[in-house]
């Protein structure tokens, strides 16, 4: 059975196509992404209206490319992100998906974007055992308990303020490094000293919630440090700031994620979302998982950020789990909770 997945929650128009085999395995046939990121650079962040218009222009060509790559005329199922994300952006992708599903006469599945950041891993590493997922993206930072793909997800904890990716983007802007901040800071950090500046580790005090995160204090500490340099006329040591900031983020994320595995009693940790592409997060997660005897699963970098393959993967797992298709009247939900497995 061939499942097409359409992603349009933010600034990436993604169309992925997978095959669900009778034995339940899911393989990737096509993964086409058109990004409008270049159009947002001069604004220093995603402009929702520009993103919606870019989706409108990109959706049909991206879908045609995916069909051509997969070598098929039409899929057996169409799945599309219906939340969470930008309202207008979600509408474009899901309306296109519903229209194609109706025209092709195939079932439609509404997909939770956060669940799909988790489900993408199965494309590369096979069926997912019960695990803890650390979902770290531009809008979310959560520890999740996954029983199996297609089953409801339990949220163990979340950020009380900024998301990890948001912190990256804000700190990059503060250092004048442009947007999006994650990849630039990641690269710059490799040339700096991670021990140069002792930035705070938020939410790690004895009375702080075990599975919650906080990054706004860290962002403020970076701002104060930069201000101090400017006041005293010293040049800002941007590489050291980047490396020390990145160390603080990676330290807290991986410490809490590995600890959550022990708390929940699972031996697999899964990373997902754009920040899972970060080199230090990946490295430190590997070290700490090895030390704790936890198996680590991390998607390849390009599957960490938004794409259509992740939507197709979760769609295929819902079909395999016997979930019913969504009615074509199902609404998009910009604030959809991770705990809703099938909207």
Compute the C-alpha angle 72/73/74, nearest 5°: 95
The single-letter DSSP state of residue 275 is: G
Q: Figure out which of the listed residues 32, 186, 247, 251 binds ligand ATP, where binding follows CB under 6 A.
A: 186
Task: Pick the piece of the chain touching ligand ATP (CB under 6 A) from 149-157, 176-184, 195-203, 324-332.
Answer: 176-184
Non-local CB neighbours of 57 within 8 Å, separated by 6+ positions: none
Q: How far is the CB of 10 from Mg ion (least distance, A)?
A: 5
Site for ligand ATP in 2-61 (CB under 6 A): 9-10
Nearer to Mg ion by C-beta: 12 or 251? 12
Q: Figure out which of the listed residues 40, 55, 98, 113 binds ligand ATP, where binding follows CB under 6 A.
A: 113
Does 93 participate in binding ligand ATP (rule CB under 6 A)? no
Does 306 participate in binding Fe ion (rule CB under 5 A)? yes
**H or E element: which one contains 82?**
strand 77-83
Does 137 participate in binding Fe ion (rule CB under 5 A)? yes
The single-letter DSSP state of residue 213 is: B
Q: Figure out which of the listed residues 138, 308, 315, 343 binds ligand ATP, where binding follows CB under 6 A.
A: 138
Task: Please report, for residues 46, 219, 306, 343, the alpha-carbon distance to residue 12 in angstroms, rounded to integers and kept in the order given.
Answer: 11, 26, 6, 21
On whether 240 is known to bind a ligand per the annotation, the reply is no
User: Which listed option, ligand ATP, Fe ion, Mg ion, none, makes contact with residue 75 (CB within 5 to 8 Å by class)?
Assistant: none
Nearer to Mg ion by C-beta: 11 or 121? 11
Nearer to Mg ion by C-beta: 150 or 182? 182
Site for ligand ATP in 277-306 (CB under 6 A): 277-278, 305-306
Does 94 participate in binding Fe ion (rule CB under 5 A)? no
User: Which listed option, Mg ion, ligand ATP, Fe ion, none, makes contact with residue 181 (CB within 5 to 8 Å by class)?
Assistant: ligand ATP
- C-alpha 40/C-alpha 22 separation (Å) is 43
Q: How far is the CB of 113 from Fe ion (least distance, A)?
A: 6
Non-local CB neighbours of 17 within 8 Å, separated by 6+ positions: 2, 3, 4, 5, 28, 29, 30, 31, 66, 67, 69, 70, 72, 75, 308, 312
Burial 231-249 (b: 16+ CB within 10 A, else e): eeeeebbbbbbbbbbbbbb
Nearer to ligand ATP by C-beta: 315 or 325? 315
Q: Figure out which of the listed residues 182, 192, 308, 315 binds ligand ATP, where binding follows CB under 6 A.
A: 182
Query: What are 194's two structure tokens?
Result: 């991670």
Please, how many CA atoms are within 13 Å of residue 5, restricted to the half-sphere of its CB? Answer: 39
Query: What are 62's two structure tokens?
Result: 């991206």
Closest CA to 183 of 48, 334, 16, 35: 35
Q: How far is the CB of 230 from Fe ion (least distance, A)?
A: 34
DSSP-assigned letters across all residues of 147-197: SSTTSPPEEEEEBSS--HHHHHHHHHHHTT--SSHHHHHHHHHTTS-TTSS
- In the annotated binding site, the residues are 113, 117, 135-139, 169, 182, 186, 278, 306
- In the annotated binding site for substrate, the residues are 135-139, 169, 182, 186, 278
- Site of interaction with ligand ATP (CB under 6 A): 9-10, 85, 113, 117, 137-140, 165, 168-169, 180-183, 186, 273-275, 277-278, 305-306
- In the annotated binding site for Fe cation, the residues are 113, 117, 306
């Amino acid at each position: 059975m061939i499942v097409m997945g359409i992603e349009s929650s933010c600034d990436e128009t993604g169309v992925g196509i997978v095959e669900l085999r009778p034995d339940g395995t899911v393989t990737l046939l096509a993964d086409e992404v058109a990004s409008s990121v270049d159009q947002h650079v001069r604004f220093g962040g995603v402009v929702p209206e520009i993103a919606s218009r870019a989706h409108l222009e990109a959706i049909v060509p991206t879908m045609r490319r995916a069909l051509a790559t997969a070598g098929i005329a039409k899929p057996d199922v169409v799945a599309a992100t219906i939340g969470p994300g930008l309202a207008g952006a979600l509408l474009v992708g899901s309306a296109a998906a519903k229209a194609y599903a109706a025209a092709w006469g195939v079932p439609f599945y509404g997909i939770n974007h956060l669940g799909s950041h988790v489900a993408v891993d199965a494309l590369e590493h096979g069926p997912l055992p019960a695990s803890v997922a650390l979902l770290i993206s531009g809008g979310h930072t959560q520890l999740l308990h996954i029983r199996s793909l297609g089953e409801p997800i339990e949220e163990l904890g979340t950020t009380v303020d900024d998301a990890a990716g948001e912190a990256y983007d804000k700190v990059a802007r503060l250092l004048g490094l442009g947007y999006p901040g994650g990849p630039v800071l990641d690269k710059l950090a490799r040339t700096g000293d991670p021990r140069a500046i002792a930035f705070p580790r938020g939410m790690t005090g004895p009375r702080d919630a075990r599975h919650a995160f906080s990054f706004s204090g860290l962002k403020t500490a970076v701002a104060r440090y930069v201000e101090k340099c400017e006041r005293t006329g010293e040049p800002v040591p941007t590489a050291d700031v980047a490396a020390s900031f990145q160390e603080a983020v990676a330290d807290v994320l991986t410490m809490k994620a590995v600890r959550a595995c022990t708390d929940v009693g699972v031996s697999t940790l899964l990373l997902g979302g754009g920040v899972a592409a970060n080199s230090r997060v990946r490295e430190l997660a590997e070290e700490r998982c090895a030390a704790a005897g936890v198996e680590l699963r991390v998607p390849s970098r390009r599957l960490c950020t938004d794409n259509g393959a992740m939507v197709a993967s979760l769609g295929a797992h819902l079909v395999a789990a016997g979930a019913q298709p969504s009615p074509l009247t199902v609404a998009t939900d910009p604030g959809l909770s991770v705990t809703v497995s099938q909207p």
